[in-house]
Structure formats: structure tokens, C-alpha cells
Amino acid sequence: MSEFSTDLTQMWFLFLLLSVFAGLFVVFPFIKKERKVVVDDDANAERIGIFHQRLEELEDELANQRIEKDSYHESVIELKRRLLNELSPEQSLTSRGDNRVLAVTGIAFMVLVTAIFYYYTGSHRQIANWNEAIENLPEYGERAVMQTGEPLNANELQAFALGLRTKLATAGDDAVAWMLLGRVAMSLGDFEMATQAFDKALAMQPDNNNVLVNYSQALLIEGSEQSMNRAAKMLSKVLNSEPTNIDAISLLALIAYERQDWAESKAAFEVLMAQLTQDDPRYQMIAGRIAELEQRLGQQEPEAVNSAASINATVTIAEALQGDIPSGSTLFVFAKAQNGPAMPLAVAKITNFNLPITVALDDSMAMMPELTLSNFSHVTVTARISNDGSVMPSDGELEGVSNVIELKQGGSQVNVEISRVLTNTGK
């Protein structure tokens, strides 16, 4: 017997026990043993005889005018009251009905009222749905994950989420179950539940690319700038370990599109399309998106400066921040176009460094073949000391940005001073 069935059995046992106690409260007044009253018939006859004797005496006294008529009537009433009180035990015995009938009637009434009240206000339907969700959890999992059979409808998705929550509550944390719950919650439009579930899964498996991609998708749907920054950082982590991850590339393309960074979005979609065959249903959709982006860009190519642009960047750090460089940190130096995509044109990653340092940037360091230094005329250079080895910014990291420089034939020189601490990056 499963743990769920055991809990359900215990619940019904408690219901039965409470019903027995309630029944005892109803029946007990009718079945308790009563003290019997013994009536002496001879004594009652004697009392009645004394009553008649005294009544005759009063009539004689009235006839002989020894008492007034008012006094006579008052005395008669008093005699009758006294006789009634003396004969009351016999009356109490005849006023009792059949106690067993009253007890059975009370129990039937209690059961009827309880059944009606529970039918209209109880949770029997929810309990039945809960039990059904637990029983069908393996089937729902196969249909949702393995995509076998009919897709889950809205009611089945609700039941699947209920079953997953019950499994996690009874069997303990499971990263796969938390990720599945997050995906189901997204399908149901409950992005708060989805975020909480993905947080649990990510805490257990921080390097799981499936969790990172699904979590990024939820953050993109949420849509705030902080959420998109966090999603971009997660997707960059995925691409560091799996550069050809189609889902991560497509989501990064969507992030650039939402930011209206048409050039970067187009470059990402082109990389994505290069990994698909023409019979893939996504191929035509991506081709249409690229055509749309080309139209937005006006089909204008960036101005080429020369065939092999390069930059020598000398990186220094402000005196006030020299003691804040964390041990094991990574230095990133990258160039970005002044008016162009947000994606860097050249990136240098240095894990063992001492400042000041001079770093060379050229076309061989481009992240996308279409986005190189040689295709742009004006750029800025950024130097960032990363705490976690990721190029995406995080709170507490140190950064400096150069002035805009014009790329020159034969190479350019630039100085970059790290002078600020990053905050509110959406980490």
C-alpha cells in the first residue's frame, strides 16, 4: 500500500471515530439508566380519601356559616394543589415515551444532516481528484515528457501538477520532478509557481542545461529587464558548455529581438538556421524572421574600417578599488560597437592577471563571424573583473568603460580604468 493510500485510510478512520463520538452525544441521554420511582397505590388511595373527607368538612363549615364563601373556595384550591403534588410520581412515569425510538431518530437525523452538509461543503470531489492524480502520475509523465499518446489537456495538466506536488511533499526533493513541475506551471500560465519550481531544481543541479534553458524561458515570459539579464546569463552558461545548443541560441536571439537589438538578433538567428536542415519546420520560420530583421536594418551593411582591425587596451584600476579584487577572479576585456549590436565584437578572458595590464583585441576574438572589429568604425572597450567566470555582469563585480574610440588602420590604443562596482544587474 502506498504512503498516500495509508494517509487516506487514516483520514477516513478519524472521520469514523469522530462520527462515533458525535453519535454517543446524541444517544447517551436516551440510553442512560434512570432511577426508578416506586409508587404505592394504597398510599395514593389513602390520600384521595383524605382529600374527599376534608372537602366534606369544608362544605359543612360553609353550610353552617363558620367560614366565608371566599375562604371556602381558597381552601378547596389548596386541597387540590396538595393532592396533585402528592400524586406527581405517577404522572412522571406516564409522561415518558419509548427511549429507543428517540435514540434511533436522533442518530438518523444526525447522519442525514451531516451527509447533506458534507455533500455541499465538503472536499470529497477534491480528494477523489487528488487520488486520481496520484494514480495517473506515471501516465501523465510519459505523455508529457516522452510525448506518447494524446497531449495533456488543461484538466490533466492541473492533475499532473497536483501529483508532482504530492510526490515532492511525500518522497522529498527531486530535481527532475521540480523541473517538470516548473514546465507544467508554465503551460498553465502560473509563472510564480514555475519560478519557484525552477529555483528548487537549479539549487540541486546548478549546471543542468535543461533546467537553465527552461528557467530562462520562464524569465523571458516574465519580461522585466532584470529577468532578461538573468536569462541571458543562464543561456551564456549553457553555451559555454554546449556551444551548439539550439534552444539556448534561439532564446538569446529572442532576448536581442525584445531589446530591439536587430543586428545581434539577426546574427543569432543566422547561427541557429545554420544548424537546421531545410526540412525542419523551424527553418522557414527562422528564415522569415531573418528577412524581417534585414528589413528593419534597412539591408545596410556596417561601414568597414579595414581588413584586420585591432586594439591594444591598457587596463588599470582605481586606487580605491585595488584591495577589492577577489581571489580567483577572471578579467574580461571586450570591445562593443558604439551604434550596433550589444554582443561584443572581440573578447579576451584572462584568469591569471596583475593590473595594470595591456590586452590585444582583434577579429580572431569575435563571438560571431559576422560581428568583428573590422566591420565597425567606432567602439568602446570594457574591462570587468568577474567573480564567477561569466562574461555576464553580476552584482558586486568591478568594471570600467573607455571613451568611444575610432578604429584606425594598423591598430588603435585605448586606456581603460576599472573604477566602479556593479549593482542592480538582475542577478
- Cβ atoms of 314 and 416 within 8 Å: the answer is yes
Query: Rounded to an integer, what distance in angstroms lies between the CA atom of residue 367 and that of residue 348?
Result: 11
Cis preceding linkage at 138, omega within 30: no
Cα dist. 242→142, 237, 246, 247, 349 in Å?
27, 9, 9, 11, 18
405 DSSP β-pair partners:
379
Query: Rounded to an integer, what distance in angstroms lies between the CA atom of residue 189 and that of residue 187?
Result: 5
* pLDDT digits (tens), the chain, 427 positions: 444 455 556 656 666 776 666 666 655 555 555 555 555 556 677 777 787 888 888 788 878 878 887 888 888 788 788 877 776 554 444 444 455 655 566 666 666 766 666 555 555 455 555 455 455 555 555 555 555 666 666 666 667 777 777 777 776 777 878 888 888 787 777 878 888 888 888 888 888 888 888 888 888 877 777 888 888 888 888 888 888 888 888 888 888 887 777 777 888 888 888 888 888 888 888 888 888 888 777 644 544 444 578 899 999 999 889 888 888 899 999 999 887 777 788 899 998 888 989 999 988 888 777 778 888 888 999 999 988 877 778 888 999 999 999 888 767 899 999 999 988 765 5
Bridge pairing between strands 310-317 and 412-418: parallel
- Kindly provide the b/e burial profile for residues 370-408, where b requires at least 16 CB atoms within 10 angstroms of the residue's own CB: bbbbbbbbebbbbbbbbeeebbbbbeebbbbbbeebebe
CB atoms within 10 A of CB 272: 22
- Kindly provide the b/e burial profile for residues 29-62, where b requires at least 16 CB atoms within 10 angstroms of the residue's own CB: ebeeeeeeeeeeeeeeeeeeeebeebeeebeeeb
Cα dist. 273→220, 244, 312 in Å?
21, 11, 34
Q: What pTM does this model have?
A: 0.45
Domain 170-296 is classified in which CATH homologous superfamily? Answer: Tetratricopeptide repeat domain (1.25.40.10)
User: Domain-by-domain residue ranges, the chain?
Assistant: 3-33+99-122, 41-86, 170-296, 310-421
- Cβ atoms of 385 and 350 within 8 Å: the answer is no
357 DSSP β-pair partners:
315
Cα dist. 38→43, 44, 86, 236, 335 in Å?
12, 12, 13, 98, 113
Tell me 161's DSSP state: H
Query: Rounded to an integer, what distance in angstroms lies between the CA atom of residue 99 and that of residue 110?
Result: 17
